[in-house]
Structure 1
Amino acid sequence: MRKIMISILILAGILSLAACSSGKASGEKKQIKIGATAGPYSDQIKESIKPLLEKEGYSVKIVEFNDYIQPNKALDEGDIDVNVYQNPRYLEQFNKDHEMDLVYLYAVPSAPIAIYSEKHTKLSDVKAGVKVTLPNDPVNMARSLQMMEQYGWIKLNPKIDATTVSEKDIIENNLNLNIVPLEAGQLPRSLGDSDFAFINGNFALASGLKLDESVAIEKTPDHYLVGVAIKKEDKDKPFVAALQSAYHSKEFLEYTNEKLVGFVKPSYQTELEAKK
């Protein structure tokens, strides 16, 4: 009898180890750490994406960041599994600068860059010598400078790639604007010291600014939409598919329409609306 019991226990242990081994081999991951900048992208996850994933049996932890550097470093080092805060142009440049191989998967509803001011209410208020602040990272600086050119404030060197222009590529500044690049997260806090500030939507909304209170809003092209990024080797893992299902769901579209008024919707949401 004792030998039978020992045999049963050994068999149970073998089956348990086999089950664990099978789970590991399948790459199944039921805990997801998602990094996002504090504000609208973190809120999207917290209020809609996380509950949808939890219904599928996932445990979700949200890690908030206050800059544009650490979320990619944390992803590359494996401290988080996903991040949501950047557009594909920014990630492409970051990969080159830091020798990383992170992958942009798809866009999420994105808050555009907008111009804010505590001193002016319209673009025509611009005068000679006024102070204009804008993000100092290459991609968002280029976006802001392109907006300034569209408004007739400056002229950029046409021989330079429009996506990589900097303040050094301004060939005409007839108003002698005082153009000051700052770290993106600092722009809302320094708003009172500038005449006009180009502020990324996530930092603007996180600081209490509203899109409908801005002086002007960017017409955001697809390549500047914030999206989901992962490590390349995770692309085919089940948790990545589950995350995509949540973002592409009818439930998240309903959340977007209710809570994210003024955000630029990704194509999969506009296509889903068209089917209604």
Structure 2
Amino acid sequence: MVKKGIIFKMVVGIIGVVTAASVLVACSSSKKESAPAVTAKTEVTVKVGAALVPHAEILNFIKPKLKQEGVNLEVVVLDDEAQLNPALQTKQIDANYFQHVPYYESVAKEKGYSFVVAAKVHVEPIGFYSQKIKSKDELKEGATIAIPNNPSNEYRALALLQANGLIKLKDGIVNFSATPRDIVENTKKIKFIEVEAAQLTRSLPDVDGAIINTNFILEAKIDPKSAIFREDANSPYANDLYVRKGEESRPEIKKLAEVLTSPDVKKFIQDKYGVAVVPAF
């Protein structure tokens, strides 16, 4: 009988230990299940197609700030800027930053683009440059001037020449599109050569002067202060951040637009480019 009592007590003790262990395991499991899950912050990648200078440089400047905001900015530079709109259309990129409204409007209808401006960023005042003269008064009769051959910038170049008293365009031009055929007064009988915008700096040795976009002046390492005359800061040709219509409200696009038009970017533009690039915000 004594042995049976001892055995009984041992069994009860073992059951108690097992039960207590089970309770501890269950409590531990319950605590694990109730603990909040730790999740990593999601980072969103935004691809922006851009001209090399100053657009890509400005975008690269804001990369660290966007990174802190959970946006991984990927800057895409193409050899042919004309492909940046097709790239946006076919969703190879999320936005592009290289063009102004008159240029976009000059190609949008024909190409079937449906983009909107997410941010107005900067103006690159175009200017008249020459390796042969130092002032516009030195332009001789029959002088040759090279101008961009795309519709919006061609009008822009002619409008600059008109503002400086060298030609007069016909009245009623309202769509930012004009060619030398729209000139009604040309007292110096200036001859015009239409050149692809990116090639204008190379044409300088062969002409008396050229109207050139500042981004190409910067790429060619020409001092923008050497312009004989240029647009002022009130130019309507602000370079904008474009996105597909309906996507301007995407959180990452809104964050990109916000940082791109921040005081830090304004100071960066002013310090780095001086008169060559003017903030438009």
- Please indicate the TM-score interval, normalised by the length of the shorter structure: 0.7 to 0.9
Note if 1:38 corresponds to 2:56: no
In the TM superposition, 1:29-108 aligns within 5 A as: 30-46=44-60, 48-108=61-121
Note if 1:157 corresponds to 2:164: no
Deviation string 1:122-146 (CA, Å, 9 cap, x unpaired) is 1111111111001111111111101
- Which has more radius of gyration? 2
Runs of 5+ unmatched residues, structure 2 = 1-38
With the length of structure 1 as denominator, give the TM-score of the two structures: 0.82
**Paired residue for 1:256, among 250, 256, 269?**
269
Note if 1:229 corresponds to 2:242: yes
Residues of 2 paired with 1:136 and 1:29: CA distance? 42
Q: CA deviation at 1:110?
A: 2.4
Q: CA deviation at 1:105?
A: 2.4
Q: CA deviation at 1:149?
A: 1.1
Residues of 2 paired with 1:220 and 1:145: CA distance? 18
Residues of 2 paired with 1:213 and 1:130: CA distance? 19
Q: CA deviation at 1:40?
A: 0.9
With the length of structure 2 as denominator, give the TM-score of the two structures: 0.80
Find the residue that maps to 1:70 and give its secondary structure. Answer: helix
1:132–1:179 Cα contact (<8 Å) kept: yes
Equivalent residue pairs, number: 241
Change beyond 3 A, Cα 1:162–1:61: closer
2:269–2:278 Cα contact (<8 Å) kept: no
In the TM superposition, 1:1-276 aligns within 5 A as: 30-46=44-60, 48-161=61-174, 163-262=176-275, 263-267=277-281
1:91–1:104 Cα contact (<8 Å) kept: no
Find the residue that maps to 2:236 and give its secondary structure. Answer: helix
Deviation string 1:80-125 (CA, Å, 9 cap, x unpaired) is 1111111112112221121110112222122210111111111111
**How well do the aligned residues superpose, as a CA RMSD in angstroms?**
1.9
The one-letter amino acid of 1:214's match is A
Q: Which moved more, 1:215-224 or 1:205-214?
A: 215-224
Residues of 1 paired with 2:110 and 2:256: CA distance? 28
The one-letter amino acid of 1:40's match is P
Q: CA deviation at 1:253?
A: 2.4
The percent identity for this pair of structures is 29
2:133–2:208 Cα contact (<8 Å) kept: yes
Runs of 5+ unmatched residues, structure 1 = 1-18, 268-276
The one-letter amino acid of 2:205's match is G
Give the equivalent residue in structure 2 for 1:11: none
